[in-house]
Amino acid sequence: MRPSIIVHGGAGRLRGEDVERRLEALKVAAEKGYAVMVSGGTALDAVVEAVVLLEDSGLLNAGLGSALTFDGAAELDAGVMNGDGLVGAVAAVRRVKNPVVLARRVAELTDHILLVGEGAEKLAKVLGLEVPEEALVTREKLERLKELKARWARGEDYSWLAKLRKLAEEHPGYFGTVGAAAVDREGR
C-alpha cells in the first residue's frame, strides 16, 4: 500500500504573509511525515514527526506560539492513537515543548490513556521532555493577551465569545489546532 498523510493547521484569523508561511509549514510537515513512512517508519512515527514540526513552527496554535491562558501561560494538549488500539494523551501541560511526543510516551510507556497537568509534567521531567514554561510563549501572543486584558478592564462587550462558542459547537473541528493522520505501507 502506498503511504499517505494529511496534516491540518491551527485556527485563527490569517493575515497576508501568515497564510503563505503557515501553508509552507504544513507542506514541510506533510513531506517530512511522508518521508518517514517511505523510509520504513510507521504511520504513528510519521504523524508524530509532522506534528512536532507544526508545534515547533511558532506559526500555529500548537506548541510554540499557542494561545495563552489568562495568566499568560501556554497550556497544551495532545493525543495519539493507531489502528492497533494504542492510545495516549496529555492535557494542560505548561512545560512540554512537544506534547505530541509526551502523548506517545504515555501510550507506549504507561498503563494510562490520559495524563493531565502536574502528573503529565512529572513524566515529562523523568523523560527529559521538560522545558521552562516561558519557552513556549511568544511576544506576539503576550501582546495579544495584554490587549485582551486591557479591553476587558475597560468593560468592553464580550458577547462575541458566546457567538464563537456557538460557532464551534455548530462546526466541530473547524476551530481546532493542529493534527495529522496517516496510513503507512502496512495499511495502519
Q: What is the pLDDT of residues 141-153, one digit of tens each?
A: 899 889 888 888 8
Is 177 an active-site residue? yes
Which among 15-19, 21-25, 160-164 has the top mean pLDDT? Answer: 21-25
pLDDT tens digits, 46-80: 999 999 999 999 988 899 988 888 899 999 999 99
Mean pLDDT (the chain) is: 89
Flag whether pLDDT at 15 surpasses 80.
no
* Reported confidence tier of residue 164, pLDDT bands at 50, 70, 90: low
Q: What is the DSSP string of 3-53?
A: -EEEEE---S---HHHHHHHHHHHHHHHHHHHHHHHTT--HHHHHHHHHHH
CA gap 126, 116 in Å, rounded = 15
pLDDT per residue over 97-129, tens digit each? Answer: 999 999 999 999 999 999 999 999 999 999 999
Q: Which residue out of 42, 110, 138, 177 is catalytically annotated?
A: 177
